Chains A and B, each alone.
Chain A
Amino acid sequence: MSDTTHDNHDGKVHAHISSWRFLVAIFFTLIFLTFVTVQVSYYDFGSFNTVVALVVATIKASLVSLFFMHLRYDKWFNGFIFVMAFVFLGIFLLLTSDDIFTRGQIDYVNGRTRLERSGAIAPGALEPDPETPHEQAGHGASSAGTHSQTSEHH
């Protein structure tokens, strides 16, 4: 896996040297993929547009990192920390989305325990208080909020 370390005990640097033909071939593959992603962008796949663009971009990024940046011939740990950057970026995106797109579904301060669209009990919400009959399926979450607020101030 690693040309840098295997069977070399003389302490000298033994980095992999790519042939120029190979590097040029990688370059033309990257140009081809750029052409593909531009052409594809003229067609509308709806919400899959972004997915297609990201898949092509990731293939291109993999080619650059594996061969231009020599990760293919590098110590495995360098590749590992590089991949971990994307893992943590994924966690960042996931938790941020989870926060932003579920705000207003459960909001005890405003008395919201139901999903805005369906009126069903939001996942993770406490059982609705039986003494607040206004909060029923079908009611908008915002109206449920005002009702329960008024009942609190009895």
Chain B
Amino acid sequence: MAASHHAHDDEHPKFLAHHFDTPEQQFDTAKFGMWVFIVTEILMFGGLFVAYGIYKSEDPHLFHRAHLELNRIMGAVNTVVLLFSSLTAALAVRSSQLGKKDQTTMWLVITILCACVFLVVKYFEYTAKLEHGFLPGRCFGHPWFGDHCTDRTAATAHPIPVHHLPSRANVFFALYFMMTGLHGVHVLVGMGILIWVTRRNLRGDFSKEYFTPVEIGALYWHLVDLVWIYLFPLLYLVG
């Protein structure tokens, strides 16, 4: 990096780790590492997307019937919430780059609140799915809550299924719960990261010269948004 030759050795800011020559080198290294991490995340979700593609093409009609049971209004609301939170995350980075600490805090808090809204909507979706007997496994076809399924004898406790999807539709809902569940875990982790970034921002760690954690945290949050951008149409819209 050419910059190192021009660095002022006497100026060694507090935020600059000793193994980096310049703030620029530190910033670029952090971003590069984050992008590599994003690649591993994409490939982790990729396994599920490939499974989805294979099973869908083996029985498209079944997937179509099963996906009609998902609430696409709730899915669309959550899409808008996540897109908005991505905007606020980008605005938080911008405020941080401009050294506006209070604005950064505001945008970060709004982003975290959006994450909460997303999880609340997801909670209602999951509850409805469990009540309507879509939890894959032995209880498939039978409501999960109540006096049944606790002893794993759903069929005897509730002989009449609450929906008429064939048991093969298990596959769709297994993928639905795995994909949205793994994504939900990422939302939780993202919230944790954003809370940590907010705390550091309140502590006054960041400035025009050093905003790397805000940038990296936002990158993680955008990744959560990216995954959902594909999950929403594939699960809720086209099945």
B43 with A89: CB separation less than 8 A = yes
Which residues of chain B are within 8 angstroms of A41 by Cβ–Cβ distance?
72, 233, 237-238
Q: Interface range on chain B: under 10, 10 to 19, 20 to 34, or 35 or more? A: 35 or more
Instruction: Give the chain B neighbours of A4 by CB distance below 8 A.
Output: 24, 27-28
Given contacts A68-B90, A88-B43, A92-B46, contact A11 B24 (CB under 8 A): yes
Please tell me if A82 contacts chain B, counting CB pairs below 8 Å.
yes
Instruction: Encode contact with A along B1-13: 1 for CB under 8 Å, 0 otherwise.
Output: 0111111100000
Q: Mark A43-85, 1 if CB is under 8 A from B, else 0.
A: 0000101100110110011001101111000110110011011
Q: What residue in chain B is nearest A14 (Cβ atoms)? A: B24
CA A39 to CA B34, docked complex, whole Å: 35
Q: Is A17 an interface residue (CB 8 A)?
A: yes
B112 → chain A closest CB, angstroms: 17
Interface size, chain A (Cβ < 8 Å): 55
Near B by CB (< 8 A), chain A positions 1-49 give 4-5, 8-15, 17-18, 20, 23-24, 26-27, 30-31, 34, 37-38, 41, 47, 49
- Known contacts: A37-B237, A92-B50. The answer to whether A12 contacts B209 by CB under 8 A is yes
Instruction: Determine whether the beta carbon of A57 is less than 8 Å from that of B229.
Output: yes
Bound complex: CA A68 to CA B80 (Å): 15
A-B contact count (CB 8 A): 157
Assess whether B226 is in contact with A64, with CB atoms less than 8 Å apart. Answer: yes
> Most B CB atoms within 10 A — which of A13, A14, A60?
A13
**Which B31-55 residues have C-beta < 8 A from chain A?**
31-32, 35-36, 38-39, 42-43, 46-47, 49-50, 53-54
**CB of A17, distance to nearest CB on chain B (Å):** 5
Among A34, A74, A75, find the residue whose CB has the most chain B CB atoms closer than 10 A: A34
Contact B80 A9, beta carbon cutoff 8 Å = no
A97 CA to B107 CA, complexed, in Å: 43
In the complex, the answer to whether A23 meets B222 with C-beta atoms within 8 Å is: no
Q: Render B225-239 as a binary contact track against A, CB cut-off 8 A, 1 for contact.
A: 110011011100110
Minimum Cβ distance to chain B for residue A7 (Å)? 10
B50 in contact with A96 (CB, 8 Å)? yes
- A23–B87 contact, CB under 8 A? yes
Instruction: Pick the residue among B5, B47, B83, B97 that contacts A17 (CB under 8 A).
Output: B97
Q: Which of A's residues lie within 8 Å of B, judged by CB? A: 4-5, 8-15, 17-18, 20, 23-24, 26-27, 30-31, 34, 37-38, 41, 47, 49-50, 53-54, 56-57, 60-61, 64-65, 67-70, 74-75, 77-78, 81-82, 84-86, 88-89, 92-93, 96-97, 100-101
Can you report 19 residue pairs joining A to B where beta carbons are below 8 Å apart?
A8-B24, A11-B22, A13-B27, A15-B27, A18-B94, A24-B87, A27-B84, A34-B76, A34-B79, A38-B237, A54-B233, A60-B229, A61-B230, A64-B229, A67-B90, A68-B86, A78-B31, A78-B32, A85-B38
Additional A-B contact list (11), CB under 8 Å, known A12-B209, A27-B83, A89-B49: A9-B6, A12-B24, A13-B209, A17-B98, A26-B87, A27-B86, A53-B237, A64-B222, A68-B90, A68-B225, A69-B222
